[in-house]
Amino acid sequence: MMTALAPAAWQVARGEASEAESYSELYGRCFDASWPAADFSAYASDPGCIVFGAHAAGHLAGLIVCRCAVDEAEIITLAVANESRRRGIARALWERALGELAEKGVARVFLEVAANNEAALGLYRTLGFEEVGVRRGYYAEDAQDARVLAITLRD
């Protein structure tokens, strides 16, 4: 088990395709599903995507992946290792991605989050996201509904 990190101990940096295995491994530790490293590599190489990781002491503590299309974007995933949660890493990842989304002219950002993931719903609400819909049975592995959240960055 890794030791929890203080905010001063980690840095947010652009994700690289060469880190795809680490991203896939972290995702697998954070969620009940796996995500192939090849997908993370593709996102990191795609100019329409934004990938950032929070790193400390040679390991990946958190990640965010966003995909942009014209003036909208989607948070594909935001994950923080269990032992590093509640230390501002998710917020720092979002703020770094937000800056880049704004530079790209994004007006609105969407995401889906499991309806029973109260911690994530709470985080997104504190970041200014609002619920705009529900996707019934979105998560195939357990037929869990997803809440669709959105935030407007500019009119």
What's residue 84's pLDDT? 84
What's residue 144's pLDDT? 83
Pairing mode of beta strands 49-56, 59-69: antiparallel
Taking a C-beta distance cutoff of 8 angstroms, is the pair 111, 128 a contact?
no
Per-residue pLDDT tens digits of the chain, which is 155 residues long: 344 444 557 799 999 999 999 999 999 888 877 889 999 999 999 999 999 999 877 788 999 999 999 999 999 999 998 888 888 899 999 999 999 999 999 999 999 999 999 999 999 999 999 999 999 988 877 778 999 999 999 88
Q: Is residue 3 part of a domain?
A: no
Q: Which of the residues are catalytic? A: 112, 124
Q: Is 20 exposed, middle or buried (0-12, 13-18, 19+ CB in 10 A)?
A: buried
What's residue 4's pLDDT? 47
Which residue in 123, 121, 113, 120 sits closest to 148, CA to CA? 113
Please tell me the total number of residues recorded for the chain in this structure. Answer: 155
We report the CATH number of the domain holding residue 21 as 3.40.630.30
Phi then psi for residue 56, to 5 deg, are -155, 140
Structural domain harbouring 72: 11-152
Chain-centroid distance, C-alpha 107: 18
Number of separate domains in the chain: 1
What's residue 111's pLDDT? 95
What's residue 8's pLDDT? 58
Residue 152: C-alpha distances to residues 21, 58, 102 (Å) = 33, 35, 11
Contacts of 149 by beta carbon, 8 Å cutoff, 6+ apart: 110, 111, 112, 113, 121, 124, 129, 130, 131, 132
Phi then psi for residue 140, to 5 deg, are -60, -35
Please name the amino acid found at residue 19: E
Q: Is residue 115 part of a domain?
A: yes
Q: Is residue 4 part of a domain?
A: no
